[in-house]
Structure formats: structure tokens, C-alpha cells
Amino acid sequence: MNVPDVTLQEQDLQLNPYDVTLLVKDGKEFKAHRQVLSEASPFFEALLRSDMKEKKEGVIRLEMFNESQMADILEFIYTGNVKISAQENAKNLIAVADYLCLSNLKHIAGKFLEQNLTTLNCFSTLHLAEEYLCNDLTDSTRKVISSNFAVLAETEEFMKLPSHEVEKWISSDEIAISGEEDVFETVLRWIDHDKSERSAKFSDMFRHVRLTFLSRDYLLSHVVTNVLVKDQWWLDTARKA
């Protein structure tokens, strides 16, 4: 299990001295118990039961973690609780928990991020969730984005997405939009955000706009008159010639 039974440990911890040292960034040391670490984390269990020098020396070097991160980790391992005060704190804990195979801690940090989703952080939160395989957070964030796509598609976060991610969203049947016009306008806004670099991506984006769902008036007044559409038409005509 991920969190040791602290109640049962209390007497044992009073009788047994610390027998392992965790060394983190800047040489900061933390004392702990092998048994507690091993019961809490498959990472520690494998390390402390192997023939590696960590077992022999009683020192585990985790210099990729800072003092604050290790304090949070040990608080969770020994008590089953952790105080998360900010989104950045939660994101760091997810990365640390993933490395140390502390799935419960990763879930707790993920719930904090889920409860603090805003129009400013949805896409970055989704990237984090996908990177560290936080399935619950991934699902909930995708639902929030899909349900609020019309608003989120105008945010700076969306404007910074790479083309393949924009294509994935505008081609989804799950996004909530008032009409196919929203998809076309989203494509134009994303292109205009960096027109010199992104104009070449227009053809890939435009193919996801379902023209049959657009009104005749909108087609005539907004689509066929658009410079990018005209350029694409001439390019397609030249290729067929």
C-alpha cells in the first residue's frame, strides 16, 4: 500500500532509530526509517532491498528534489496527509510522486489541480496530467475544456498551443460551440496570433471546418472572401492543373 499504517508504527518508531538518510539538493539531509519508506513506495522498497550502495551505506541521494519537496514527501509517507498551498506546489508534487511511485500522493495533488482549474490554466494542467499519466485529472480537465471551448479558445494559453493540438481540439465532436462558424473563427485567430509563421498551417486547419454546416450567407461573407481561403483555392487549383 502507498501509505503506511501510522497508528501501528508509532510504538515501533519510538523503539527503532532512524536508519536511512535522504540527501537532497544543497546537501540538506532528512532522516527516515527503511521499513516506513519501503512500505510506502515501491521505489524505496526496490532500492533498499537491492544490492546497490544505497542499501549498504544507508544514504539515498535524491538531489533532484529540494528541501521543501522532500519535507512534503515525508509528511505524506508518515502521516498520509500533505498540505498543498498553491498550484505550483501541486504540480511539483505530481512530478515527485510519479518518480517515487506514490500514486496516492499523485492523486491528491491531481484533485487539488482539478478543483482549481481556471480559464488560465486548463491546457497547461492537461499537458501535465497527460505527461504523468494522471488519468482522473486528464479526464476531468478534458471535460472542462470541451464544455467551455468557445471561451477557452480565445485565451492566451490556447493561442500558444502547437498546430497538432489545435487540430485535435477543433476536430473533436465533444467541444461545445454555438456553430461551425466558431471553428472557422478559432482557426483564424490562432493563425493571426503569429501569421508569418502559422499561415502555412492554414490548409491543415481548414480541412477540419465542416463547410456544409455553415450558412450560405456566412460562406459568402466570411469564408470565400477570406485571403487565406483564396490563397488555398489558388494553390489547390495549381496543383490540379
Q: Which domains does the chain show, CATH number per domain?
A: 148-241 (1.25.40.420)
203-237, pLDDT tens digit by residue?
999 999 999 999 999 999 999 999 999 877 654 54
Q: Is the pLDDT of residue 241 over 50?
A: no
165-210, pLDDT tens digit by residue?
999 999 999 999 999 999 999 999 999 999 999 999 999 999 999 9
Measure the CA–CA gap between 31 and 42, rounded to whole angstroms. 19
Q: Which amino acid is at 38?
A: S
pLDDT-based confidence at residue 17 (cuts at 50, 70, 90): confident
Measure the CA–CA gap between 199 and 113, rounded to whole angstroms. 35
pTM of the model: 0.84
Classify residue 79 as exposed, middle or buried by CB count within 10 Å of its CB (0-12, 13-18, 19+).
exposed
Residue 231: how many CB atoms within 10 A of its CB?
13
Total count of residues recorded for the chain:
241
